[in-house]
Chain A
Amino acid sequence: MAARNKPGNGSRNNDMNSARYNPLKLSGTDLPSHLLLMVKLLTLALIGKGYIQHLPQPFLPFLPVFDHIHGVLFQITLKTSFIIAALLLFTNQKVRLSCFVLGSVFLLGTLSSKTYYSNAKFFCGLIYILTALSESKGRPWLIHGQLIIMYFGSGINKVLDIDWRTGQYFDHWMIHVIHAKSYELLADLSSHEFISKMLSWKTMIIEIVVLPVTLFFRKWQAVGVWIGIVFHSLAFWMSGLSFGVFMAAALISYLAFAPDSPRVYVHGLGDSLLARVLKSILRAFDVDERFIFSEEKDGQDSTGVNIKLLSENGWLTRLNQWRLLAIYHPLTYILLTVFFSITFLPNIFQHLATMACLILFFPFYGAFKGFSGKVN
């Protein structure tokens, strides 16, 4: 621990300079580290899903001025701006400006073409812009507000539609548009009317009431995030659709509810070959050097989060400590984003990623007997 944190010599200064441009570095910019991670992962997801290739030329724009702009030039400008802004973002340079440019690319692309419009692109554009506008300290309530408005608006639009209230929309969508065999099986076991109405009202109640309320109040936000993960996971499992980049973007945006990254003390990982390999991997992806590994089984440091991998409070507690290690480390989020976003990966990876999210971010581990893993 001490060796990793000694004041620098010449080679240490070189390390710090090169780390400055490292995409894995999350601290030392104008954005809080959890927001910087969020926008970097969002950019990764957009690239993985191929959204750069489909940036539009003006066609049936929302604002007539776009019809007077040279189409190919406009498209090239959007693509070039995206690439440059993404590079600046990944190398931690002018991060707010980069977010503003990335958001503007999607919002201008959307305004320039009604056929290009999609809620996923609109959402991504807004998340970037609102991140650029967020304060450096304190909670990013603009992004919290954006998520609440999105869910509430979506739910209100549905509940005011009679086909949603009766379940007709859901039944038609599941049978004819999605052709979901799981839904047909469920519906055949009970009745189409019952299942479609139940799933419709479940969706509307979650969007109008549950998510806005839980995401609004700070003490319930961890629960709200997990309910959001359940909500999107169910939609994905039943329909097989990730709705373009939308599912990945929504889940990535939940990082706005994370606390700013604390120092993490990991006790009792050991010195086996496997432990050394794991430490190397974790350190490689921890450019900010927030993770400190200690050999002491029962060490405690009051300046950060303490994770005790050899806790004597039972297997569930030890499992929970590994879970905490995962949710505090940026590698987890990078892997999840890759699994959600890279289009040439088989669908099974998205299923694995949703299951991993459900397990990792389950907020009720403390309710189980024997759990004593407190975090600072």
Chain B
Amino acid sequence: MKLLFGVLMLSLQLLMIVCARFDIPKYFCWAPHDQQCIYHLSVTIDGKPLTSKQINERYHLNTWRYWNNGAYKWVNLESRSIKNVKNIIRQYEATYGNNDRTKVVLSYRINGGQEQTWQWQPQQ
């Protein structure tokens, strides 16, 4: 029975590794440093913009010291997948922030590539 449970735990991880190939956030699939995503969030609640500090506190996000153009600056960094950030925002706004009438604009670069944008706003 114990061994069966152990084998089940290992098998679930193999399943998650396969599932990571699809368009889902990368958790439990051993993708620790797949992407380095530098991103910037603009969040408004009822039309009022939040500061960076407020945004980081809202979603419990961390910052990292980033070297660019000869200087360091503090940025938001996701080192697994940008889908994880999108997933966090969606889940927060669908649950804890359900009544906030939030609009979110996520600008990001994956591994220093082209800037991309993603938006979230409450469904009417």
A residues within 8 Å of B by Cβ?
59-60, 62, 67, 113-115, 117, 119, 122, 126, 129-130, 132-135, 142, 145-146, 149-150, 152-154, 156-158, 160-161, 163-164, 168-169, 171-173, 175-177, 179, 243, 246
Interface pairs A-B: 8 shortest CB-CB = A153-B30, A179-B67, A172-B112, A115-B60, A133-B6, A157-B31, A142-B6, A153-B17
A113, A114, A130, A134 — which one has the most chain B CB atoms within 10 A of its CB? A114
Judge whether A149 and B10 touch: CB under 8 Å: yes
- Interface of A, secondary structure class, is helix
Interface size of B by CB at 8 A reads: 45
Contact A157 to B36, CB < 8 A, known contacts A177-B66, A177-B77: no
Is there an interface contact between B3 and A133, defined as CB atoms closer than 8 Å?
Answer: yes
A163 pairs with B35, CB closer than 8 A? yes
In the bound assembly, the distance between CA atoms of A146 and B10 in angstroms comes to 7
List the interface of chain B (C-beta within 8 A of A).
2-3, 5-7, 9-10, 13-14, 17, 20-21, 26-36, 38, 59-61, 64, 66-68, 72, 77, 79, 84, 87-88, 91-92, 95-96, 110-113
**Are A176 and B29 in contact, with the CB atoms below 8 A?**
no
> A176 and B68: CB pair below 8 A?
yes
Most buried by A among B3, B20, B59, B111: B111
Q: A115-B61, A154-B31 are in contact. List 14 more A-B contacts (CB 8 A).
A: A60-B60, A114-B87, A114-B88, A119-B30, A129-B6, A133-B3, A134-B6, A145-B10, A150-B30, A153-B29, A154-B32, A156-B17, A157-B17, A177-B79
- Determine whether the beta carbon of B36 is less than 8 Å from that of A169: yes
The 25 sampled A-B contact pairs (Cβ below 8 Å) are A62-B27, A114-B27, A114-B87, A114-B88, A115-B61, A122-B28, A142-B3, A142-B6, A149-B14, A153-B31, A154-B32, A157-B17, A157-B26, A158-B33, A163-B110, A169-B33, A172-B111, A173-B33, A173-B36, A175-B67, A176-B66, A177-B64, A177-B66, A177-B77, A177-B79
